[in-house]
Amino acid sequence: MNVKHSSEKIKTIIDNVHIFPAYHMNKKHWITISLNSDIS
């Protein structure tokens, strides 16, 4: 699922396990959250 997030915090929440830079979106403002994983 793609979610828009504040650009100041995106680099700190991307873990490349559950949360990724958004695919086909502006990576400065969008992240992708994997729905097939447990997120706490």
Each residue's pLDDT tens digit in the chain (40 positions)? 999 999 999 999 999 999 999 988 999 999 999 987 666 6
Report how far residue 32's alpha carbon sits from residue 18's, in angstroms, rounded to the nearest whole number. 8
Q: What's the whole-model pTM score?
A: 0.75
CA 29, 16, 23, 8: dihedral to nearest 10 degrees? 10
CB 3 within 8 A of CB 14: no
